[in-house]
Structure 1
Amino acid sequence: MSEEKLEEAVKPLSEEMPETEEAEESPVPEETPAEAEPGPERDEGRDEELAEEVDELTALRRELEVQKAKAAEYLDGWQRARAEFANYKKRIEKEQEDMVKLANGALITKLLPVIDDFERAFQTLPPGLMGMTWLEGIALIQRKLQMLLEQEGVTVIETEGQTFDPTLHQAVTHEESEEHEEGQIIGEVQKGYRMGDKVLRPSLVRVAKKTSDNE
């Protein structure tokens, strides 16, 4: 190919290509001025705020301690009042129970002579009357009275083979006996009764004493 033809072929291409623009320069960030350092006036203001916060916190702590002390005092007073009320309630219940027992004991003591009469009547009953219907009815009344005493906690004071006890027994006579030791109960004249630890009526008994030969 001739040089003229090459120039003609290249020329249109060179005309179509745009001229390259100069590279834009990238903007350089402006330097920011350094922050101003806090001055002495600003430090003093901050110190005052901290001091106020410390004082406020100290005051709150003191108030909290005061309230805690009051709460402990109120709790102690409430606990003591509760204990006193519980003791008072127990004392009242005990007094009421004792009053009921005392009233029951007084009533039962009045019934004891009736029970004695029943026992003496059956001990001296003629053999010919045994087995009669009306007598069985009287015996039933006696058994009901004895059951009533048992329900109220009334028991007979033991005397057989026992040593005389002045808190439970009342000596009617002191008799010489070679078969019994001194102070031993020989026989019972009248039954005694107790309700719990309280003696309603002591037993009337005969008590042995030393014989004349042993003196």
Structure 2
Amino acid sequence: MNIEEAAVEAQQVEDEAVAQTANEAEVPNLEENELELIKKENEELKAKLEEAENRMLRLQADFENSRRRARLDLEAAEKYRAQSLISGLLPAIDNFERALQLDADNEQAKSLLQGMEMVYRGILDALKAEGAEQIEAVGKEFDPHMHQAVMQVQEENYDSNVVVEEFQKGYILKDRVIRPSMVKVNQ
């Protein structure tokens, strides 16, 4: 039942109650039993009216809640629209990082690495413009929401539960972790 149907039903019940009350005023000589039946029927009609009004109010509240949920879903979809694209680019970024760690022997290789670094920086700038950032890991306290521990070591140079080394960079989009950092943690 939608809101309009509930409103029509409530109006019909109210009309019946008004008509019943008008009938009581027109017939002053009815017997007491008939008068009691009419009063009882009048009370029943009032109860139906109240029930129909309550149902209409619940339908309105449900409608408002569904509108609010749809708006929140739309806002979340807009906020994280770039997530799948960024997730698809992460392996390419990892490959860029590995390639940039190579040592160049000659001028031609150095020039090529310099061009690759420019492309790499351009991709990172585009990600940053969409709200994606790298997760800082080395030297930070281990956070299971941001980091994925793949190794544990015991080094005296670091405090307990601190990230010692990062194997793969993690990324966050606004407030959502897209990929946690793979790290080595001190015990």
Answer whether TM exceeds 0.5 for this pair. Answer: yes
Question: How far apart are residue 82 of structure 1 and its match?
Answer: 7.3
Matched, 1:205 2:153: no
Q: Tell me if structure 1 keeps the 8 A contact 2:171–2:178.
A: yes
| 1:186 partner letter | V
TM-score scaled by length of structure 2: 0.60
Which of these two proteins has the greater Rg computed from alpha carbons?
1
Normalised to the residue count of structure 1, the TM-score between the two structures is: 0.53
Cα distance in structure 2, aligned partners of 1:94 and 1:152: 20
The verdict on how the C-alpha distance between 1:84 and 1:201 changes in structure 2, with shifts beyond 3 A counting, is same
Cross-structure match for 2:127: 149
Give the secondary-structure state (helix, strand or coil) at the position aligned to 1:98.
helix
Distance 1:120 1:114 in 2: 10
Asked whether 1:168 is paired with 2:118, we answer no
Asked if 1:179 is matched to 2:157, the reply is yes
Q: Distance in 1 between matches of 2:79 and 2:120?
A: 23
- Structure number with higher relative contact order (C-alpha < 8 Å, ≥ 6 residues apart): 2
Which position in structure 1 is the counterpart of 2:48? none
Q: SS of 1:178's equivalent?
A: coil
Is 1:126 the counterpart of 2:126? The answer is: no
Root-mean-square deviation (CA, aligned residues, Å) is 4.0
Q: Is the 8 A contact 2:100 2:113 kept in 1?
A: no
Equivalent in 94, 99, 104 of residue 77 of structure 2: 99
Number of residue pairs aligned between Structure 1 and Structure 2: 153
Rounded Cα–Cα distance in structure 1 between residues aligned with 2:108 and 2:56: 73
Cα distance in 2, alignment partners of residues 121 and 152 from structure 1: 25
Report if the CA contact (8 A) 2:100-2:116 is conserved: no
5+ residue gaps in structure 2? 1-54
- Map 1:13-52 to 2 at 5 A: none
Cα separation, partners in 2 of 1:163 and 1:135, compared to 1, 3 Å = closer
Change (3 A) 1:207 1:79: same
C-alpha displacement at 1:129, in angstroms?
A: 4.4
5+ residue gaps, structure 1, are 1-76, 210-215
Judge conservation of contact 2:170–2:180 (CA < 8 Å) in 1. yes
2:178 partner amino acid: L
Q: Percent identical across equivalent pairs?
A: 36
The Cα shift of 1:147 comes to 1.5
What is the CA deviation profile of residues 37-95 of structure 1, one whole-angstrom value per residue up to 9, with x for unaligned ones?
Answer: xxxxxxxxxxxxxxxxxxxxxxxxxxxxxxxxxxxxxxxx9998877655443321221
